[in-house]
Structure 1
Amino acid sequence: MAADVYVHLIEPAAWRAALELGAVRPPSLDAVGFVHLSTPEQVHLPAEALFPGRRDLVLLVVDPARLTDPVRLEPGRPEDPAGMLFPHLYGPLPTRAVVAVVPYRPPVQPVLPSPGDPLARALALYTSLPVRRAVGVGDVPGGVVVLDPDVPASHDNNRLLLTSPVDAATVTATAEEVGGNAGWPYRAALLGWPGAAPVAAELGRAGWEVEQLVLMARSPADPQPAATQRVEVVAQTEVHDLWERSWRRNLATTGARLDAVVGQLVGRERLNDLVVAVTDLVVREEGRVVAAAQLRVDGATAAVESVMTDPGSRGRGHADALLARALELAGTAGCDLVVLEASADDWPREWYARRGFAEIGRTWSVSREA
């Protein structure tokens, strides 16, 4: 039984712990000597037996070619269909063999990316992370809605995540219903399926703000030379002042509302480290943090986020150093793919292209005031 991918069902907190250890070591490894794997067609059987009714689990998408310990096809539980064999991994499951982490929400069939499909892996990361960190998740036409009432100003934490085609009227009606019930001060959605451009354009004509996002990717190998010794790994609180200065420059609001919104946008960042391995990197000048970047590792896939430099400190190579260090850390963690999002209409897209990132696809972020 050859398989393009295997899957392993796990609770999000257990996966986060495995990222620290570099491997998934479930109790079965000590009890019976192996890690239970499944093919995508089989996984509903252990899910129903071990986690009946649960919709808050994730599937680890495993590339069999990255496993070094033996995999044996053996019977599962006595009540499983006669003659069915399951792949059992006789050793821990390395996190570097996990090419994607996908929410498991039966009866919705999960979309599992192939190891060699960078766009599918990037989309899996960008649509999975908001679900795993959300306070609430609900099914909607075309995908899910994520909600976090603690940070209502954050579109990333409170919006529709649509990965299957729907029309503009459905996006509008769903956002209005969900946003109205949740008390959102805006309506927001990510259109993440191939060919969503016409729907985004129609929403734009109807008054929505539309941002086209370019998904870019590269291997972490051979980053451009840069003076990475200037880069420090720090606790996230060390970056808060820089983030706050950036948001205050870029937000079109003032006074107490600005203070509240900035507080939420800075504070929300800690939620990512609850579900993926986050490393915050900074460069200082005279002891003050003037540039920063973030690396998020989710198995064999990593994302570079929030690369920024204070305006007065630009042109000194800080961003190059931060990016090079992030790529080094991604390689050390066992990642073979590093992804990022860049606005289609802004200069960083070209900056990343000169540093080895290639476009792999596009998504559309749409929003409007309530």
Structure 2
Amino acid sequence: MTTELAQVISFRRLLQDRASTRLERFPGGTALFNDEFRLSFSHNRLRLEEAGDEVRAAELAAICDDLLGAAGHAHRSITVEDERTGLRLAPDFVAMGWVARRDLVMVHRALPAGRAGAQLVRELDWSTARPMVEETVRRLKHGKGAEVVRQLVDRNLLVGRAARLRHFGVIMDGRVVSSCDLYEGGAVAQIEEVATLEEHRGRGYAGAVVRTAVEAAQRSAHRLIFINAIADDWPKEMYRRLGFEAISSIHELTRLPQG
């Protein structure tokens, strides 16, 4: 594992652990639970930390059944931190009916010239940013019901237990239409939750908010700035144009509740 990747993994673990109400070890990793946000899959899951060819999909799925099932969760969710292990396990999980998503770990190298759209971006407080996050959640297939929306929105604030949390956005006609978050901790900063309302896409807003967040992280002297991007989705190309380089990938394995 490279030094950069080790820093990314360490930062991610810190955020995840501090956002949990309890942790439980299992062979090769840690089960994360947050009893305040039980509807958030990302806060109630297993994290496979150790790499190795001895890890078997069926055994890992059984451990997930035991731990999440005992906690009363109907979903199943596992993060595989090691790229090689994730690539090996993903097909077996898909064959068992799970969904496998590969997230690229992209580290920032240098910003390109030009600042198109930057004048539209401003730093936001949470009360201003929150309606945009709510709208984004409501448009998800699983974003139905007041309590679902509340938990999937307010879970964002859990980052503040381990890092400085900042919000950046574009406001049009008094409404935030594109935004991202910046997590700052020590030498590392992460850009996350990049979103633009569908009817406002194609205008460069997402690139502008990400660029502004990178510039803010640079001014705060963070030596490593990274972002996660779904490997088979288009935003990764925008991040490349903004100077990010993929150094590894992390796998997210999920089985949705039945029915």
Q: Confirm or deny a common fold (TM above 0.5).
A: yes
Cα drift, residue 270 of structure 1: 0.9
Residues 280-295 of structure 1 aligned to structure 2 (within 5 Å): 280-295=167-182
- Which TM-score applies when normalising by structure 1? 0.65
Against the structure 1 CA distance between its residues 265 and 314, is the aligned structure 2 distance closer, same or farther, given a 3 Å change threshold? same
The one-letter code matched in structure 2 to 1:193 is D
2:219 counterpart of 1:329: no
Matching residue of 1:29: none
CA distance in 1, matches of 2:143, 2:164: 33
2:251 counterpart of 1:361: no
The one-letter code matched in structure 2 to 1:161 is R
Paired residues, number: 253
CA distance in 2, matches of 1:223, 1:123: 30
Against the structure 1 CA distance between its residues 194 and 309, is the aligned structure 2 distance closer, same or farther, given a 3 Å change threshold? closer
Gapped regions of structure 2 (runs ≥ 5): none
CA distance in 2, matches of 1:317, 1:214: 22
Q: Deviations over 1:297-322 (max 9, x none)?
A: 11111111111111222222222221
CA distance in 2, matches of 1:129, 1:308: 21
Matching residue of 2:84: 195
Q: Does the residue aligned with 2:233 lie in a helix, a strand or coil?
A: coil
Q: Does the residue aligned with 1:250 lie in a helix, a strand or coil?
A: coil
CA distance in 2, matches of 1:305, 1:224: 22
Residues 242-257 of structure 1 aligned to structure 2 (within 5 Å): 242-252=132-142, 254=144
CA distance in 1, matches of 2:99, 2:203: 34
2:206 counterpart of 1:316: no
CA distance in 1, matches of 2:181, 2:76: 27
Cα drift, residue 228 of structure 1: 2.2
Residues 185-264 of structure 1 aligned to structure 2 (within 5 Å): 185-196=74-85, 197-219=87-109, 224-252=114-142, 254=144, 258-264=145-151
Cα drift, residue 252 of structure 1: 4.0
2:70 counterpart of 1:181: yes
Cα drift, residue 279 of structure 1: 0.6
1:302 pairs, out of 181, 189, 213, with 189
Spell out structure 1 runs of 4+ moving beyond 3 A: 219-224
CA distance in 2, matches of 1:279, 1:168: 38
| Highest RCO, 1 vs 2 (Cα 8 Å, sep ≥ 6) | 2
Q: Which has the larger radius of gyration?
A: 1
Matching residue of 2:50: 164
Cα drift, residue 158 of structure 1: 0.6
2:17 pairs, out of 131, 156, 160, with 131
Gapped regions of structure 1 (runs ≥ 5): 1-112
Cα drift, residue 332 of structure 1: 1.2
- Which TM-score applies when normalising by structure 2? 0.91
Q: Does the residue aligned with 2:210 lie in a helix, a strand or coil?
A: helix
Cα drift, residue 222 of structure 1: 5.8
Cα drift, residue 227 of structure 1: 3.5
CA distance in 2, matches of 1:215, 1:344: 9
Q: Deviations over 1:213-252 (max 9, x none)?
A: 1111113666652342322212112222111211222224
1:151 pairs, out of 37, 43, 54, with 37
The one-letter code matched in structure 2 to 1:247 is V
Q: Does the residue aligned with 1:195 lie in a helix, a strand or coil?
A: helix
Residues 335-346 of structure 1 aligned to structure 2 (within 5 Å): 335-346=222-233
Q: Deviations over 1:171-203 (max 9, x none)?
A: 111111111111112011101123111112211
| C-alpha contact (below 8 Å) 1:283/1:318 kept by paired residues | yes
